[in-house]
Amino acid sequence: MPSLPRHPDPDPSRRQAEVERRGMLDHGDVTALRALLTADPASATAGLENWRDHPLGASPLGYVAMLRYDTATNRWRDVPGAANLARELLAAGAPVDGDQPPPVETPLITAASYGDAAVALVLIEAGADLEARAAADSGGVPGGTALLHAAVFGMTDVVDLLVRAGARVPDDVLAAAAGTLTTAPADEGTRLLALMMAAHHQRLTVLDVLLDAGTPVDAVEPVWGRQALRLAAREGRPDAVRHLLARGADPTLRDDEGRDSLALCRQGRAEYEDPSAHDEVERLLLAALAARG
């Protein structure tokens, strides 16, 4: 259940209408939303404001693009009806790239950040700007495109969708995320960033390209202090974990906070409604640790 508005409207009927509108979006109630938009077309663009769990506000379309993260439980989930909600809002006049002046990030960037490939597809089909960039002071990846957001946040389905739609892949690090990197970069720092992207997105061929070129499998990249096996374990990437272990990754290595890959896997699992990927990662790590004696 969403948090109530922080500063309730003095008009109880308006407050109730806002609660009902958000409830339609939260529950994927396309029929109710269509009726609302028919009666009040302005509801397609009027921002959701003053909610405790969304203090910066959101456009209805931007809000739908972030539904995969449940702020009530702090967990990731699948929301099958979100794409249909997006279609209704667009049909009622919601601007596909957000309001003018430009928003902090477009709905497509939001969908990329939150990993909703179905909503992203609806936006792309409606003509969303693939190369639009977030504002320099945005809270995600400042100045980043939708592809960069999807890559950084590990949203592989959206990465694949954007690349198929024609989004530019401008550098080796994003090529690693997209699975198109065929030659290891000469620069060591770039190789390490590419290794993290390949692990995060389970690009096993790219992992081999980088490791065969001499990139240390247990190296820690200096920008965010990530290590490939720990990252893959934390994010629930069983194929990458299996591959890295086979390539000699050490599951006993710990980060600066004393957490090994198994601890990070268990920590990450708590953030997902479906724990199955993390369960598989845990089995792989336990077997690897048992084999070490």
Position 3 scores a pLDDT of 52
156 and 185, same structural domain?
no
pLDDT at 8: 52
Question: Do 102 and 74 lie in a common domain?
Answer: yes
State pLDDT tens for residues 176-231. 999 999 999 999 999 999 999 999 999 999 999 999 999 999 999 988 899 999 99
Q: Within this chain, do residues 189 and 160 fall inside the same structural domain, yes or no?
A: no
Phi/psi of residue 161, nearest 5 degrees:
-60, -45
In the three-class reduction of DSSP (H, G, I as helix; E, B as strand; rest coil), residue 12 is classed as helix
* Residue 267 belongs to domain spanning: 172-292
**pLDDT per position as a tens digit, 19-35:** 899 999 999 999 999 99
| Residue 1, domain member (yes or no) | no
Dist. CA 105–CA 82, nearest whole Å: 19
- Interior CA angle at 271 toward 117 and 242, to 5°? 80
Same domain, 209 and 178: yes
Whether residue 155 sits in one domain with residue 46: yes
Q: Considering the domain boundaries, does residue 2 fall inside one? A: no
Residue 7 located in a structural domain: no
Burial of 75 (0-12, 13-18, 19+ CB in 10 A): middle
Verify that 218 and 274 share a domain, yes or no: yes
3-state secondary structure (DSSP) of residue 55 = coil
**Ranges under pLDDT 50 in the chain:** 1, 4, 6
Which CATH number belongs to the domain containing residue 240 in this structure? 1.25.40.20
Residues 117 and 256 reside in one and the same domain: no
Please report, as a single letter, which amino acid is at residue 77: R
Residues 150 and 250 in one domain: no
pLDDT at 72: 86
DSSP codes, 128-149 = --TT----TT-SSSTT--HHHH
Domain boundary at 165, 181, 210, which?
A: 165
Domain presence at residue 22: yes
> How many domains are contained in the chain?
2
Before 101, cis peptide (omega within 30)? yes
